Amino acid sequence: MIEFKQVSKQYTEQLALDDLNLTIPTGDFFVLVGPSGSGKTTTLKMLNRLIEPTDGDIYFDNQRLIDYELRDLRLQMGYVLQNIALFPNLTIQENIAIQAESLGWPRKERVARARALLEQVDLDPDQYATRMPSELSGGEQQRVGIIRALAIKPKVVLMDEPFSALDPLSRKQLQDLVLQLHRELKMTFVFVTHDMHEALRLGQHIAVMRLGHIQQIGTGEEIIHHPANEFVRGFFENEQTPRPTTVQVLVDQGRGAATTMAATLPVTATVNDLAAALKQGPVVIGTASGNRTLTTADLLDYLAQTEVE
Amino acid sequence: MQQIWHILHTQGGEIVQSIGQHIGLSLISLLIAAVIAIPLAIILMNHQRLAKVMLQITSILQTIPSLALLGILIPLVGIGTVPSIIALVIYAVMPIFQNTYSGLTTIDPSLEEAATAFGLSRRMKLLRIELPLAMPMIISGIRIAMVMIIGTATLAALIGAGGLGTYILLGIETNNNALLIIGAVLSAILALVFGAGIDWLGRLTFKKAGIVLATLVVLIGGFAGYRQVTNSQTTLTVAGKLGSEPEILINMYKDLIEHDHPNIKVNTKANFGATSFLFKALQSGSIDIYPEFTGTVLESLVKTKQSASHSPAKTYQLAKSALKSQYQMAYLKPMAYQNGYDLAVTRQFAKKYHVKTISDLIQVENRVHAGFDPDFNQQKDGYPGLRQAYGLKFASIKTMEPSIRYKAIANGKVNLVDGYTTDPEVQAYHLVVLKDDRNFFPPYQGAPLMSEKLLTDHPELRTTLNKLAGKVTTTDMQKMNYQVSVKHQKAAVVARDYLRSHGLLD
């Protein structure tokens, strides 16, 4: 368990964290989310003491962080960086095993551990273990970055916006990967992001931060349905009302003609379903305010209009 | 080209030895510089202000001209290898320090953060991450230092440390392009070979590079230690200026001393660059004996109010007493030959006009077309004084570089030149030296110079070295110079032959 008790961080010009109180249960997937300058990364880096608080105390398993021997503490924590930061002079295998090497594991064990982890994230050890980081794609590199943090089976894994520089497809795959790893390994994950979508997707508990203050802590459900204040409401607004489907938009714009015929497609259908159905002729969409008949011409007309926009 | 092959053929052994000295000097200096600069940069990598101060200090050291640095070092640490290495190290520290420092401080901060956050120890962080990442910069620093060291090491020859500089300096001094080319080309080849070696070292893993360096340190250290141990008997160091003549003389000293006193071992250090280097080295005790000219003593070493006498005996007495009172040095009796200015004409000219002395020139002064060294043409003890003393006026005078005067007279461009009495060209070009019948030219006689303390400790040296007093005529010296600098025979051999044939050595 990790506890922040009245933690503040004062830089010469500004107050980065103000009287922060926070509890992270053991085995949790805890996400710190907020816009830039909210203090989320500062909070994360206090856990492995890259940043020291100017006031207050942080407890890890009921012992103050500053009472731990610094290296012992850091060797109980994995760390994933935003820009991955694989050591370019070391092979993939050596990168993964760097903390194990620091702990003095025998070489054989280090190699075995690195290969097992590569296997776990679908990177063929025979192919990847002895490559250099520069020979890997961005997504592959971040996979290695993640398993590097898991190599010594740490109690806590800290992740500082690890996916923000990746393309949407890689990001989604890696989100699935960390969720799966969290389920399997039962470690405490602390994850920082500025993307509320990512926060909702990953976090068991989410802390929303702004300007060095915590706005709300809770599950994704609680935060969406019971936002603590206007800021939280605004931040998650888009999540509350999901984007309407194209079919819904077509109906809302009053395209097609009102009909009493029975509906052949619900209003929640995708645009693909609609296109497929239109091949057989006009389609009747069922809505609460009366059914409407849509033709191919209606869809084309709509598409042409959005194209212009 | 033919001359180069000839020199390579006859002096191959010495050249190889010089390359060895050059490599030894350069490698030791480079290693010491690296051993100083790299740890220093590591210590200072987290102390920016101190590092800046250090960078400034090393840059200032870099601006000291190398000759000045050598001059400063002689009274402090003597001559030979030690001051050369100190000077080279001083030059090499800057590029290695600067590159190591910037290599270590420009590492991507997120890599530093990762290494810190992973709880790596200071040592592991340095050895596993920081040094390997800085390695390309460090290697390029070592490369720069190496090229500089190999170039500057040529100056080590000036203070008796040997190396390829010997050939470059001799080549310049005697206008011998073949020697110059040999020295320069071999230095360049060394630089290329070392550069490739350093590149190879840079491609090795950190551990292997360490092993190679450690092996080098042990080898060189062991060799130096071995030499130290084997050098433990009483040794005297006899040094000489640049050129064949001093080298022949110091070999004579060596043979005579070692023959008379088997318990003394004599080291010779030939081809020192400048009179002042030798004199300083003698004062500091890092050399024991060197041959010096009576005229040079009066002109540039001692303070004296009396103007140089034209009598050789008087000049010697004056020099001897001044050295004794001002520097507590002993100046033994001079040899017969004089190495002063002279005038030389071709054999045909001498025959045709019956010219044997400088006075004989007066009747034919309208036919004399002289080629003079620019110094000789201006100095008081040169042509202007000569004109007054003899009442001469030549038909025409051309000034030219000393080294091409002899070619000019051989090609008939002039018919009279100035020179030094023992120049081997007198023999090579079949010239006749005119007798200075009014004793105008100040006498330059060679005699052994040493500290009085040396003579107190080894009084037997006086008898031994005085065997040469009054020996070695100007003609003898010319012949020997000819054999060494034109025919490329070894000075030691020429010296021994002379001593044997004159009954001074059995």
**Contact: B111, A77; criterion CB under 8 Å:** no
Confidence (pLDDT) at A11 = 85
Q: pLDDT tens-digit profile of B229-264?
A: 554 457 888 998 888 888 999 999 999 988 888 888
* Residue of B33 and A263 predicted with greater confidence: B33
Q: pLDDT tens-digit profile of B427-458?
A: 888 888 888 888 888 788 899 999 888 888 88
Q: pLDDT tens-digit profile of B278-335?
A: 888 888 888 899 999 888 888 778 887 766 577 888 888 888 888 888 888 999 999 9
Q: Is residue B478 domain-resident? A: yes
Q: pLDDT tens-digit profile of B405-417?
A: 888 888 888 899 9
Between vectors from CA A68 to CA A64 and to CA A74, what angle results, nearest 5°?
115
Helix (H) or strand (E) holding A6: strand A2-10
* Residue B157 and residue B306 in one domain: no
Q: Is B122 on the interface with A (CB under 8 A)?
A: no
* Residue B12 and residue B146 in one domain: yes
In this prediction the pTM is: 0.67
Given a contact cutoff of 8 angstroms between Cβ atoms, the answer to whether B392 and B362 are in contact is yes
CATH code at position B388:
3.40.190.120
For residues A93-119, give the mean pLDDT: 92
Q: How much is the mean pLDDT over chain B?
A: 85
CATH code at position B187:
1.10.3720.10
Given a contact cutoff of 8 angstroms between Cβ atoms, the answer to whether A265 and A277 are in contact is yes
**Contact: A99, B118; criterion CB under 8 Å:** yes
All residues at 6 or more sequence positions from B248 whose CB lies less than 8 Å from its CB, including other chains: B477, B480, B481, B484, B491, B494, B495, B498
* Residue B240 and residue B223 in one domain: no
Give dist(CA B468, CA B446) in Å, integer: 10
CA B108 to chain A, closest CA, distance in angstroms equals: 9
Is 60 exceeded by the pLDDT of residue B471?
A: yes
- Report CA torsion sign: B72, B73, B79, B84: negative
**Contact: B115, A87; criterion CB under 8 Å:** yes
Q: For domain A2-240, is the CATH number 3.40.50.300?
A: yes
* Residue of B10 and A103 predicted with greater confidence: A103
Closest CA in chain A for residue B127: A89
* Residue B383 and residue B304 in one domain: no
**Contact: B118, A81; criterion CB under 8 Å:** no
Final residue in a domain of this structure, among B208, B230, B252: B230
Tokens of A100: 């194990």
**Contact: B114, A85; criterion CB under 8 Å:** yes
* Residue B258 and residue B399 in one domain: no
Give dist(CA B273, CA B155) in Å, integer: 9
**Contact: A99, B116; criterion CB under 8 Å:** no
CA B119 to chain A, closest CA, distance in angstroms equals: 5
Q: pLDDT tens-digit profile of B101-114?
A: 999 999 999 999 99
Confidence (pLDDT) at B228 = 56
Preferred mutation among B106, B118, B124, B130 to probe A, highest tally of A CBs within 10 A: B118
Q: Which of A73, A82, A102 has the CB atom closest to B120's CB atom?
A: A102
Q: Is B126 on the interface with A (CB under 8 A)?
A: no
CA distances from A288 to A74, A251, A273 (A): 59, 11, 20
Confidence (pLDDT) at B232 = 44
Q: Is B506 on the interface with A (CB under 8 A)?
A: no
β-sheet with B341-346: strand ranges across? B396-399, B369-372, B416-420, B341-346, B431-433
Length of chain A: 309
Q: Is B224 on the interface with A (CB under 8 A)?
A: no
* Residue B202 and residue B311 in one domain: no
* Residue B401 and residue B465 in one domain: no
* Residue B212 and residue B269 in one domain: no
Confidence (pLDDT) at A307 = 62
CATH code at position B318:
3.40.190.10
Q: Is residue B438 domain-resident? A: no
pLDDT bucket at A244, cuts 50 / 70 / 90: low
Given a contact cutoff of 8 angstroms between Cβ atoms, the answer to whether B335 and B470 are in contact is yes
Give the side-chain half-sphere CA count within 13 A for B330: 18
Q: Which of A71, A81, A88 has the CB atom closest to B113's CB atom?
A: A81
Assembly ipTM: 0.75
Give dist(CA B465, CA B443) in Å, integer: 21
Nearest alpha-carbon partner for B308 in B323, B317, B295, B327: B295
Between vectors from CA B353 to CA B351 and to CA B357, what angle results, nearest 5°?
85
* Residue B153 and residue B249 in one domain: no
Is 90 exceeded by the pLDDT of residue A30?
A: yes
Is 60 exceeded by the pLDDT of residue B90?
A: yes
For residues B162-187, give the mean pLDDT: 83
Given a contact cutoff of 8 angstroms between Cβ atoms, the answer to whether A267 and A233 are in contact is no
Q: Which residues in chain A have Cβ-Cβ distances shorter than 8 Å to B134?
A: none
Closest CA in chain B for residue A83: B110
Q: Which residues in chain B have Cβ-Cβ distances shorter than 8 Å to A73?
A: 119
Is 70 exceeded by the pLDDT of residue B226?
A: no
* Residue B206 and residue B69 in one domain: yes
One-character DSSP codes across B396-409:
EEEE--HHHHHHHH
How many whole angstroms from its chain centre is CA B436?
A: 32
Q: Which of B114, B116, B119 has the CB atom closest to A75's CB atom?
A: B119
Give dist(CA A177, CA A169) in Å, integer: 12
Give dist(CA B188, CA B199) in Å, integer: 17
**Contact: B113, A77; criterion CB under 8 Å:** no
Q: How much is the mean pLDDT over chain A?
A: 87
Give the side-chain half-sphere CA count within 13 A for B116: 12
**Contact: A50, B113; criterion CB under 8 Å:** yes
Q: Which domain holds residue B416?
A: 341-433
* Residue B213 and residue B276 in one domain: no
* Residue of A196 and B225 predicted with greater confidence: A196
Q: How many structural domains comprise chain B?
A: 3
Final residue in a domain of this structure, among B433, B462, B492: B433
Confidence (pLDDT) at A84 = 87
**Contact: B117, A77; criterion CB under 8 Å:** yes
Closest CA in chain B for residue A84: B110
Q: Is residue B257 domain-resident? A: yes
Buried b (16+ CB within 10 A) or exposed e, B239-275: bbbbbbbbbbbbbbbbbbbbeebeebebbbbbbbbeb
Given a contact cutoff of 8 angstroms between Cβ atoms, the answer to whether A148 and A96 are in contact is yes
For residues B193-208, give the mean pLDDT: 82
For residues B477-484, give the mean pLDDT: 88
CA B106 to chain A, closest CA, distance in angstroms equals: 14
**Contact: B114, A79; criterion CB under 8 Å:** yes
**Contact: B117, A48; criterion CB under 8 Å:** yes
Spans of all domains in chain A: 2-240, 246-308
Given a contact cutoff of 8 angstroms between Cβ atoms, the answer to whether B4 and B186 are in contact is no
* Residue B483 and residue B385 in one domain: no
Final residue in a domain of this structure, among B230, B260, B278: B230
**Contact: B118, A87; criterion CB under 8 Å:** no
Q: Is residue B245 domain-resident? A: yes
Residue A193 has φ and ψ, to the nearest 5°, of -150, 160
Residue B462 has φ and ψ, to the nearest 5°, of -60, -50
Closest CA in chain B for residue A70: B119
